[in-house]
Amino acid sequence: MYLSNTKLIVFTLIKTMFYTLLRSFHAVANHGGFTAAARALNVGQPTITTQVRQLEKQYGVELLVRAGRKVELTDAGRDLYEVTRRMISAEQESRDLLQAHGGRETGRLRLAAVGPFHATEMVSAFKAKNPQVEVIMLFGNSQRTLQRLVDLEADVAVLAHVDDDPRVHMVPYSQHRVVAFVNKSHPWYGRQSIRLSDLPGQRILLREPGSTTRLAFETAIRAAGVEIDPVMEIGSREAIWKGVECGLGVGIVADFEYVPHADLSPLTIEDTEVKTRYFIAYLKSRQHAPLIRSFQSVALDLASRLAGRNGQGKPAAATSRIG
């Protein structure tokens, strides 16, 4: 019995040590360097360095190429990183599941979103019901947000139109019209609307490629046979707003993104209805994760209440666009 217990202890220690090495490698790969990894794991940098080198030496493989303070993954490192991402995600999901079954909705939820407007209202409603859950929000355009979901950097996402992905389940949340706006020095200031045919010759401020608002707008002008030139690309909604305020051109945003100002004037597009639709998204393989289910339930309840308040009727939240 003593020998069996000793073997079990040794086996457990070996497994624990191996997991520690993998965790250190994952942190370095995920954070892009040893210093950031040490900070994330709250251990000394020499410890992280030693553990990664031990992993490489034990298996005779190079996982990282060190270039000063930065690191690059080798082919073997990229393959292992895909495995460790799933491992870390499964570990967190296991904790969440056990805590949920134990009657304590705790843990951490990573939310990727295209902007703070919808995400903030969802998180506020979610935190009201789950105050012990830590929520981390990551922002980017729809393509970046989807990629974070697929790469397991986020648990759930709030995004607009993206190409279908068989791995992802998407539930409709809301839809919004795309509008233009100008500042007081522009000839259109004070008008109520414009037509797409008014746009040629205007300096148009658009989001970067990958933005859903830009995609919806460009689809509409192509369908109308309208060409716009030149186009200025700006990487955030806030920068678009500031650019218009400074007189750089005509801004194109979703209606909820327009922030009223005495020196700015919003313009509806009267000859066509340009819309963006927003979705709650999560991986199909993780649809039973307690925190994801809890967040979805809260968000869809919020969508129903907001739709009723706006007189739109109950949204089609029970159906998915993908799957």
DSSP state of 248: S
- Give whole-number Cα distances, 289 to 96, 117, 122, in Å: 8, 25, 18
Biggest distance spanned by C-alpha atoms of the chain = 90
Choose between 212 and 11: higher pLDDT: 212
Summarize pLDDT for 168-191 with one digit per residue, the tens: 998 888 888 899 999 999 999 989
Which residue reads 């925190």 in tokens?
A: 291
Summarize pLDDT for 252-292 with one digit per residue, the tens: 988 888 888 889 999 999 988 888 888 999 999 888 888 89
CATH topology (fold) of 176-276? D-Maltodextrin-Binding Protein; domain 2 (3.40.190)
176-276: same fold as 2-83? no
- Give whole-number Cα distances, 242 to 98, 185, 201, 259, 304, in Å: 47, 14, 21, 10, 33
Summarize pLDDT for 102-148 with one digit per residue, the tens: 545 567 899 999 888 888 889 999 999 888 888 999 988 888 898 88
Per-chain mean pLDDT for the chain:
81
Distant-in-sequence, close-in-space partners of 206: CB < 8 Å, separation ≥ 6: 214, 217, 231, 232, 233, 234, 240, 252
Three-class SS state of 191: coil
Provide the token pair at 273: 């209805």
Residue 34 pairs in a beta bridge with none
Of 116, 200, 95, 110, the C-alpha closest to 148 is: 110
Q: Cα separation of 126 and 296, whole Å?
A: 9
Q: Cα separation of 278 and 159, whole Å?
A: 5
Q: Cα separation of 231 and 221, whole Å?
A: 13
User: CATH class for domain 2-83?
Assistant: mainly alpha
Band (11; pLDDT cuts 50, 70, 90): very low
CATH architecture type of domain 101-173+277-309: 3-Layer(aba) Sandwich (3.40)
Band (313; pLDDT cuts 50, 70, 90): very low
Three-class SS state of 177: strand
What residue spans define the domains of the chain? 2-83, 101-173+277-309, 176-276
Q: Does an H or E element contain 278, and which?
A: strand 275-283
pLDDT tops 50 at residue 321 = no
C-beta atoms surrounding 141 within 10 Å: 24
Summarize pLDDT for 60-105 with one digit per residue, the tens: 888 888 776 678 888 888 888 888 888 877 777 777 666 665 545 5
Average pLDDT over residues 228-234: 76
pLDDT of residue 123: 92
Q: Cα separation of 78 and 26, whole Å?
A: 10
